[in-house]
Amino acid sequence: MAILTRAGELPARDAAVVVTGTVRAASPDTAGPLAASPGTAGPLLDQSLTWPHKSARLAALQLLPARGEELRAQTLAASTRMPQSGPGAEA
């Protein structure tokens, strides 16, 4: 997908913002063209789930259940270690 290719040329944080926004535009809750195109949204999510920055991966992970991929979301969430914050978090 051209957006992700171009995002890969940006600094890490900028790229994460682009990828995260693109994933959110693919949400069924939006009326955008990515939401209406399963052929585009699927590969976008697949690539976003392997993106180096966690915000892009999290956005893609959150979108999986809305696309009927609850089991995949649960499996990926269980295997992804997200940093914890708040009381009891490791320092």
pLDDT at 35: 65
pLDDT at 14: 93
The pLDDT of 49-59, averaged and rounded, is 88
Cα-Cα-Cα-Cα dihedral sign, residues 10, 15, 21, 27 = positive
The pLDDT of 54-65, averaged and rounded, is 88
3-state secondary structure 68-86: CCHHHHHHHHHHCCCCCCC
Q: What is the pTM of this model?
A: 0.71
Per-residue pLDDT band for 33 (boundaries 50, 70, 90) equals low
The pLDDT of 8-35, averaged and rounded, is 82
Higher local confidence (pLDDT), 74 or 82: 74
Residue 68 — left, alpha, or beta (φ > 0 → left; ψ -120 to 50 → alpha)? Answer: left
